Chain A
Amino acid sequence: MLLINCPYCGERPELEFVHGGQAHIARPGSPAECSDQQWADYLYRRDNIKGVHAERWRHTHGCGRFFNALRDTTSDQFLATYKIGEQPPVPAQAQPRKATA
């Protein structure tokens, strides 16, 4: 169970949140002008990145707000969370720590 830093409420356990899939996929402004392929891309194509990716979470059992997060899908460590409408911050890579330090 992840520990997620809601930008509005602070750190809360994953149980309070619902994952909202990849972030920054905007619904096309004029769907009628989309080709079938473009519409299918909007609906279904996902980057599915192995590494740092941007995703949406909703603090459903809290403030109810959607927000975005940068998470490394190879370690599940969050690099940042930020509000809807904000640009993703430049990620500072989490440094592994020596077990003995």
Chain B
Amino acid sequence: MQRFSGLSLIRRGLNGQRGWQPQWRRAEPKPDYDAIIVGGGGHGLGAAFYLAKEHGITRVAVLEKGWIGGGNTGRNTTIIRSNYLFDESAALYDHSVQLWESLSQVLNYNVMFSQRGVMMLAHTVHDVQVSQRHVHANRANGVDNEWLTSEEARAHCPLLKVDDIRYPVLGAAFQRRGGTARHDAVAWAFARAADALGVDIIENCEVLGIRRDAGGAVSGVDTTRGTIRAPRIGVSAAGHSSVIMRMAGVDLPIESYPLQALVSEPVKPIFPCVVMSNTIHAYISQSDKGEMVIGAGTDAYTSYTQRGGLHISRHALEAICELFPMFRRLRMLRSWGGIVDVTPDRSPIIAKTPVPGLYVNCGWGTGGFKATPGAAHLLAWTIAHDAPHPINAPFTIERFRDGNLIDEAAAAAVAH
């Protein structure tokens, strides 16, 4: 792998930046591999990298229907945090944050992880109770999270309007280790590092079927570029998890919804952190390019169109303008949509499946980006050991049958 550094930029700059090699090879599919990862997003590419790096399994192919990082990896608002309520979730997401913290160095690719802090606003007495429960639970788990009064929140983010709005801000939970990263770079960085370890990254290769042997175990996949054999298949195809898994006869408790996001025109730095409000449904941060990055909600109906309704983005901007009335004069530059796979308890599945040799990483809902290295690392572990890592052991498919849900959504439910 060609090493990236300031020095290498200068040296090659003297020669017109010639001599850079492709960041990953344009691999042709081989007839067989030790493992196949379906889905060339950050999660899938990362899983291939960790399989090669940590488990010595280098005969790995990543099959991507389109271009790598073109699914939800490239369609999110890049927020990273681990302040989840339940012990199982906090452990999972914090595992990921810990990997994020050294990811640029490990992959020799600047993914611009910016630990600018994530502030989650509380607008009602009930919100305060829920937020403080998060803070207490996180601190017990060893995950940083602190409670800010509304004055402290505004001191940290001076543009935030806390009074004289429909739902005044009563305080906020603040995770300083949270932040954002450059989403595309994560996919490219994992691709480059995995490629250097021998992983074949095969784009424009759509999986059409999953083959199983007489014993029921997986034996390979049929693709638009032919049949490829492998005894182990990891599916990490957010947005199409149901479609792919059904090829192996596995039904998932998942529905796919459109999720939208948008950015403003770029402006000079003005916004110091990530601000989220679950109550009025808005989240916002400023990218390193200067754009205000704003997340909207999901549409009410399932869809694979990668687009959502105007009323959804309108609502997101209503909420942003309520909290940040100076942003009314900013302008929306670009919007986009992704497909999020949502489980009934809003927690992911990283698990073995009823089909031997088939593993799945799915159901991240709106929160998959932050989990990229963690999910990748755990999926690789699960494939390599044919058993889950203790961190992802609770995140099974069977939990829905047995009632061991990890219900982050319900726990935040508004009532009374």
CB distance from B309 to the nearest CB of A (A): 4
- The answer to whether A75 and B305 touch (CB under 8 A), given A19-B300, A43-B400, A45-B253, is yes
Contact between chains at A2 and B301 (CB < 8 Å): yes
0/1 per residue, B225-263, Cβ < 8 Å to A?
000000000000000101100000001111110000000
Interface membership of A65, Cβ < 8 A: no
The number of chain B residues with a CB under 8 A from chain A is 22
0/1 per residue, A1-34, Cβ < 8 Å to B?
1100000000000110011011000000000000
Q: Is the interface of B mostly helix, strand, loop or mixed?
A: loop
Contacting residues, chain A, for B401 (C-beta < 8 A): 36-37, 40
Interface membership of A50, Cβ < 8 A: yes
C-alpha gap A48/B344 in the complex (Å): 13
C-alpha gap A55/B309 in the complex (Å): 18
CB distance from A28 to the nearest CB of B (A): 15
**Which A40-62 residues sit within 8 Å CB-CB of chain B?**
40-41, 43-48, 50, 53, 55
What residue of chain A has the Cβ atom nearest to residue B402's Cβ?
A: A36
Contact between chains at A48 and B256 (CB < 8 Å): yes
Contact between chains at B400 and A48 (CB < 8 Å): no
CB distance from A5 to the nearest CB of B (A): 15
Contacting residues, chain A, for B311 (C-beta < 8 A): 1, 14-15
Contacting residues, chain B, for A21 (C-beta < 8 A): 255
C-alpha gap A36/B311 in the complex (Å): 39
What residue of chain A has the Cβ atom nearest to residue B399's Cβ?
A: A40
Interface membership of B165, Cβ < 8 A: no
Interface membership of A74, Cβ < 8 A: yes
- The answer to whether A74 and B304 touch (CB under 8 A), given A44-B400, A48-B254, is yes
Contacting residues, chain B, for A73 (C-beta < 8 A): 256, 302-305
Residues of B within 8 A of A (CB): 240, 242-243, 251-256, 300-305, 309-311, 344, 400-402
Residues of A within 8 A of B (CB): 1-2, 14-15, 18-19, 21-22, 36-37, 40-41, 43-48, 50, 53, 55, 71, 73-76
